[in-house]
Structure 1
């Protein structure tokens, strides 16, 4: 069978981690791509299992302390039983120190001697010139005819415990990168959509029940449900190095989301590793760490990290005993010996995050040194020195700090043409930046904060009726009924589920501007920047971190009828045709793999968008967004100031968490408009 898309997977056998081990080539079956295109992530992704072993972790706190009285009742769908288990797996006991609290120097000597002698019998042979371990299965080639079965078998093991087979993924082509990115994006979108949905349903339940009941942890329930459905990624292979589809700089608001995409397999442990019991030669191997300042002896200088091992802390996260060379600590030492790289995720407090924290993937590091020393609390701690591997994209945590300095005015690099190209038409300034050439073209257009519709569109506006809500709309108000009985946004203004058309409260409603159903009409909330790009001509990025499901801006222009558009095209004007945008709204909130009775929203039925938008003289920031077949922004149709279904507003929402300084992109489907004479096609 011909397999057009080759992926080189270097299998590092758990039997031996010899430096001379080679790799084998495995091809991903072409049917996987069709499965992803059809939305079947479960079948398309071969790296799925269910159970999460909790083995001797370096404990880290959850994003928020889980409430002990969470309800496990499924109040959203009687066919779905939400289960939540936040307790660590204690099936394997954690070894306790065998020394007294004051015997620190004895313990210091003991661990130093352990470092020196523990592996001398094993490692000497590995270091011998020309040695090849007879059990090194990594250098045994897999016949071509077995490639498909090697990958296909993994999808059938999703309910087994996490695999001990280590895999390194290399040599991915452009199409493969796009494929894996799409898998990760859809999985994260499902997680975010489910989390928002669970939280919104919990709010309804709380409003309908008398008395105080605890809030549901949407992040934990969403991950639990996805785990039960076998939708966690990369569980059936333990990936060493980069995770396909996860980019350096990707940001996560919740610790559990990192587990869902397979970046870090343990919900609380700071060190994720292959345990010695899973390795036939007894050597544990660390694959990723989370640096979050949980240990007082940690030192983080960006490219260089002094990382403290796990153990010895009391329930108040204070160092109260000596650390031992075991579990994750031993795995870090073994990764250093074999030269195995580890992924580094940084977690820290961040204002505006729904969890109060952000987690940023900062790339691959090598462990180059390990030692024991007396920590700040007077106990022996094991330390590891990690250095970031060269030639990687810039660290996401550094970009976050840079964007923060830009927002605060602490730095102002050369290249800013204008601090507000909207000329105060937006509530928040839109800057223009070009440090490449002397092109100032965006300044030649009049900024248009909202679209201009033909007068006839408003002819029926006199028949508009609004709600009588005073402090804010409720689920039983008139505007809720227009949306099928359920608002499209949660209490934080996040899009719950994409719809063919959303009705927001309008000028005839009595509710205030802060109403939950007035999300898009209040203008932008982020600090955007139109910048000159060598790849796309002009692009758009944000100085703020944008949460998935958040409103970004309206795509504006002068609205033309079909006949008017034909005349303007003859004049050579630049026109945008809304009916050619991809229907990405249908992906946001698609829970068909969660709920067996899920139906794609179809209310209300919208007629074909038979109009065009002239952006040749008047436009806004959205016009400079580039095209992508794997976009991070979607188009959602919204009505609020008139009732003409054929002429809705084009509102843009984030499809994923968009880090600061990352370019925003739209799916223009098979249509590539050009908003300026020299910009590359969108």
Structure 2
């Protein structure tokens, strides 16, 4: 980022430098939690009276370390304890004990219970308001990659925690782990929350309009919205140089009955006066978050708007979408539906921004139901696969008359030479009701399954063995993921930027299987002949080793080692996609891709000829282009670079 790209934002004194001051009591505008409410903090020593108290918005980071007395006696606990992350309590300790924490110390804003039971001190969020301007394209890509890697670490850690919990849940009867809370707490313990040194007004570099978050904690981790549950994020008056609060972002999720949302215009209800069932029972006051919104209106400071709404089929039943910048143009005090006085704020979306992510998701929903009604022009065919896939593959082109994808025979899976099926072991597992952690196929994968019970990839590996035709486990076995085919509605489309591209009409969760990269496998002798003919070839060995990034917990575990087992020999085959191909062949190249290739075996055991399976490396919103790292550029692939 250039030296002139960060500027203090304006308020009463035009250019503010907001120093840290004492804490203030904040009653936030609360939004519904993602799932059951987490436990409060566990008692720490020394006595509560001698410890600093966090200001409420900052202290409410839900470190869900209940249930650790048995769960963390597992191998996971021992490993984490080795890295000085968690200690296993004695059997007579009560991990559910709750005590309040007092704080007379103005220098600290947070004291939390770390996994080892120590009180750790975190620096406060900055109160200095800045706006990022004139950011260069290369800087934007850099910040995008920082956000991408941070979110990927969160997702990898969350999935790993949940997978470890699942190993013991059936035996010990624990409820499902809140992996998002645990992962967020660990990231904060290691200082991996972003954008805390400056309070950014406006767009956050690296976060794009339309980005989707399954968990509220993700918003805090990247700095998009710094409150764990409060709907208004702001710099409190006690930390402002002029003694006035300034709002930076709001979450609109229908938590208040007087909210009105028409997209570009929002009537946003202030905070306060509600009971724990979100019923208005008192008049609201012009203070704290309400006053911050009013002051932001007065000084013309824009706010980020994140919408939260229900979404079926995801990691949670609710998602959060960043919809861009809004200005507060009007505020008034009114009688709400419950008969109590409420403050209302009219927010209007700033012009010349890309389409709202929530609007794109609504369009995608309409396309899933009736594509021709939602988008009457541009569809060439509603199933490029000709019913070879479980879900139809749409083909859309509203750019030109090029219908080239129609002239290829569609493959639902890769075609291997016949000799591939006659090599390797023909032994399978003997699990009649589904595979267990110590079965034959688990041992082939190094003693652990690659997927959690939801089919999410826990950690990338050089090779994954799925259960195959010689296994006795049912089709519902957790170790049969990629062989079931696609589970998202994909669309090949004509792009002005990258030629052909692929996008999904569904929201794809990070770690999910998307589709196979299919073609006709050629041996090296055949490759030489086909190359001379100018045919389009894909070389599996050239794909970037992005699988090593998914599940990389080296920033958490100091002796983390990149997986090397199951090992795989150098791949010297190529895939011909000049006549027969599938939807993945139209995916664009990116040096910061949102998807990766993972090698998988299931229908044969020849290590030299794995399937190329595509998995999501991040949450991919509907209608956002899917990209891969093709590694060494190959002119014959015709892939153009895409900066996600």
Q: CA deviation at 1:514?
A: 1.3
- Equivalent in 453, 460, 466 of residue 491 of structure 1: 453
Q: TM-score, normalised by structure 2?
A: 0.86
Residue 56 (str. 1) matches residue 27 (str. 2)? yes
2:251 is paired with a residue whose SS is: strand
In the alignment, the residues of structure 2 paired with residue 574 and residue 87 of structure 1 have an alpha-carbon distance, to the nearest angstrom, of 64
Q: In structure 2, do the counterparts of structure 1 residues 507 and 316 end up closer, same or farther at CA, with 3 Å as the change threshold?
A: same
The equivalent of 1:8 in structure 2 is 5
In the alignment, the residues of structure 2 paired with residue 352 and residue 538 of structure 1 have an alpha-carbon distance, to the nearest angstrom, of 28
Q: CA deviation at 1:681?
A: 6.8
The equivalent of 1:71 in structure 2 is 67
2:419 is paired with a residue whose SS is: helix
User: 1:469-525, CA deviations, whole angstroms, 9 ceiling, x for partnerless residues?
Assistant: 112111010000000000000000000000000000000001111111010011000
The answer to whether the 8 Å contact 2:488/2:504 transfers is yes
The equivalent of 1:222 in structure 2 is 183
Residue 599 (str. 1) matches residue 561 (str. 2)? yes
1:78 is paired with a residue whose SS is: helix
Q: In structure 2, do the counterparts of structure 1 residues 312 and 90 end up closer, same or farther at CA, with 3 Å as the change threshold?
A: farther
The equivalent of 2:296 in structure 1 is 335
- Equivalent in 165, 169, 180 of residue 128 of structure 2: 165
The equivalent of 2:231 in structure 1 is 270
In the alignment, the residues of structure 2 paired with residue 191 and residue 259 of structure 1 have an alpha-carbon distance, to the nearest angstrom, of 12
In the alignment, the residues of structure 1 paired with residue 136 and residue 101 of structure 2 have an alpha-carbon distance, to the nearest angstrom, of 42
Q: CA deviation at 1:12?
A: 3.1
In the alignment, the residues of structure 1 paired with residue 390 and residue 36 of structure 2 have an alpha-carbon distance, to the nearest angstrom, of 36
Where do 1:78-227 residues align within 5 Å? Answer: 78-79=81-82, 80-81=84-85, 159-209=122-172, 212-227=173-188
In the alignment, the residues of structure 1 paired with residue 367 and residue 146 of structure 2 have an alpha-carbon distance, to the nearest angstrom, of 33
Residue 609 (str. 1) matches residue 571 (str. 2)? yes
Q: CA deviation at 1:383?
A: 0.6
Q: CA deviation at 1:67?
A: 5.1
The equivalent of 1:121 in structure 2 is none
Q: In structure 2, do the counterparts of structure 1 residues 204 and 395 end up closer, same or farther at CA, with 3 Å as the change threshold?
A: same
User: 1:58-94, CA deviations, whole angstroms, 9 ceiling, x for partnerless residues?
Assistant: 111210123549324544122354699999998699x
- Equivalent in 415, 434, 439 of residue 378 of structure 2: 415
The equivalent of 2:193 in structure 1 is 232
In the alignment, the residues of structure 2 paired with residue 353 and residue 547 of structure 1 have an alpha-carbon distance, to the nearest angstrom, of 7
Q: In structure 2, do the counterparts of structure 1 residues 53 and 270 end up closer, same or farther at CA, with 3 Å as the change threshold?
A: farther
Aligned length: 582
Q: In structure 2, do the counterparts of structure 1 residues 371 and 89 end up closer, same or farther at CA, with 3 Å as the change threshold?
A: farther
In the alignment, the residues of structure 2 paired with residue 520 and residue 53 of structure 1 have an alpha-carbon distance, to the nearest angstrom, of 52
The answer to whether the 8 Å contact 2:12/2:242 transfers is no
Residue 316 (str. 1) matches residue 316 (str. 2)? no
In the alignment, the residues of structure 2 paired with residue 656 and residue 611 of structure 1 have an alpha-carbon distance, to the nearest angstrom, of 29
2:166 is paired with a residue whose SS is: helix
The answer to whether the 8 Å contact 1:55/1:89 transfers is no
The equivalent of 1:374 in structure 2 is 335
In the alignment, the residues of structure 1 paired with residue 293 and residue 2 of structure 2 have an alpha-carbon distance, to the nearest angstrom, of 34
Q: In structure 2, do the counterparts of structure 1 residues 390 and 87 end up closer, same or farther at CA, with 3 Å as the change threshold?
A: farther
CA root-mean-square deviation: 2.5
The equivalent of 1:476 in structure 2 is 438
Q: In structure 2, do the counterparts of structure 1 residues 673 and 547 end up closer, same or farther at CA, with 3 Å as the change threshold?
A: farther
User: 1:197-244, CA deviations, whole angstroms, 9 ceiling, x for partnerless residues?
Assistant: 1111111122332xx333221111110111111001111111111111
Q: CA deviation at 1:5?
A: 5.1
Residue 17 (str. 1) matches residue 17 (str. 2)? no
Which ranges of structure 1 fall in alignment gaps of 5 or more residues?
24-48, 94-156
2:153 is paired with a residue whose SS is: helix
The answer to whether the 8 Å contact 2:23/2:238 transfers is no
Q: In structure 2, do the counterparts of structure 1 residues 513 and 530 end up closer, same or farther at CA, with 3 Å as the change threshold?
A: same
Which ranges of structure 2 fall in alignment gaps of 5 or more residues?
40-64, 88-94, 105-119
In the alignment, the residues of structure 2 paired with residue 611 and residue 213 of structure 1 have an alpha-carbon distance, to the nearest angstrom, of 47
In the alignment, the residues of structure 1 paired with residue 103 and residue 427 of structure 2 have an alpha-carbon distance, to the nearest angstrom, of 64
Q: CA deviation at 1:635?
A: 0.5
Q: CA deviation at 1:564?
A: 1.1
The answer to whether the 8 Å contact 1:63/1:254 transfers is yes
The answer to whether the 8 Å contact 2:305/2:323 transfers is yes
Q: CA deviation at 1:56?
A: 2.3
In the alignment, the residues of structure 1 paired with residue 145 and residue 597 of structure 2 have an alpha-carbon distance, to the nearest angstrom, of 18
Q: CA deviation at 1:353?
A: 2.0
Where do 1:555-570 residues align within 5 Å? Answer: 555-570=517-532
In the alignment, the residues of structure 2 paired with residue 650 and residue 397 of structure 1 have an alpha-carbon distance, to the nearest angstrom, of 33
- Equivalent in 393, 400, 409 of residue 430 of structure 1: 393
In the alignment, the residues of structure 2 paired with residue 551 and residue 349 of structure 1 have an alpha-carbon distance, to the nearest angstrom, of 23
In the alignment, the residues of structure 1 paired with residue 309 and residue 415 of structure 2 have an alpha-carbon distance, to the nearest angstrom, of 43
The answer to whether the 8 Å contact 1:546/1:657 transfers is yes
The equivalent of 1:444 in structure 2 is 407
The equivalent of 2:43 in structure 1 is none
In the alignment, the residues of structure 2 paired with residue 52 and residue 541 of structure 1 have an alpha-carbon distance, to the nearest angstrom, of 47
Residue 663 (str. 1) matches residue 634 (str. 2)? no
2:5 is paired with a residue whose SS is: strand
Q: In structure 2, do the counterparts of structure 1 residues 347 and 92 end up closer, same or farther at CA, with 3 Å as the change threshold?
A: farther
In the alignment, the residues of structure 2 paired with residue 82 and residue 531 of structure 1 have an alpha-carbon distance, to the nearest angstrom, of 49
Residue 361 (str. 1) matches residue 322 (str. 2)? yes
Q: In structure 2, do the counterparts of structure 1 residues 321 and 526 end up closer, same or farther at CA, with 3 Å as the change threshold?
A: same
The answer to whether the 8 Å contact 1:425/1:449 transfers is yes
Where do 1:571-590 residues align within 5 Å? Answer: 571-590=533-552
User: 1:576-602, CA deviations, whole angstroms, 9 ceiling, x for partnerless residues?
Assistant: 111111110000000001112211101
Q: TM-score, normalised by structure 1?
A: 0.82
In the alignment, the residues of structure 2 paired with residue 448 and residue 390 of structure 1 have an alpha-carbon distance, to the nearest angstrom, of 44
The answer to whether the 8 Å contact 1:72/1:82 transfers is no
The answer to whether the 8 Å contact 1:466/1:479 transfers is yes
The answer to whether the 8 Å contact 1:253/1:354 transfers is yes
1:494 is paired with a residue whose SS is: coil
In the alignment, the residues of structure 1 paired with residue 242 and residue 402 of structure 2 have an alpha-carbon distance, to the nearest angstrom, of 62
2:127 is paired with a residue whose SS is: coil
In the alignment, the residues of structure 2 paired with residue 88 and residue 235 of structure 1 have an alpha-carbon distance, to the nearest angstrom, of 28
Residue 247 (str. 1) matches residue 242 (str. 2)? no
The answer to whether the 8 Å contact 1:71/1:216 transfers is no
In the alignment, the residues of structure 1 paired with residue 222 and residue 142 of structure 2 have an alpha-carbon distance, to the nearest angstrom, of 15
Greater alpha carbon shift after TM alignment, 77-86 vs 373-382: 77-86
In the alignment, the residues of structure 1 paired with residue 590 and residue 467 of structure 2 have an alpha-carbon distance, to the nearest angstrom, of 32
Q: In structure 2, do the counterparts of structure 1 residues 267 and 89 end up closer, same or farther at CA, with 3 Å as the change threshold?
A: farther
In the alignment, the residues of structure 2 paired with residue 350 and residue 52 of structure 1 have an alpha-carbon distance, to the nearest angstrom, of 37
The answer to whether the 8 Å contact 1:615/1:675 transfers is no
1:636 is paired with a residue whose SS is: strand
The equivalent of 1:542 in structure 2 is 504
In the alignment, the residues of structure 1 paired with residue 4 and residue 545 of structure 2 have an alpha-carbon distance, to the nearest angstrom, of 30
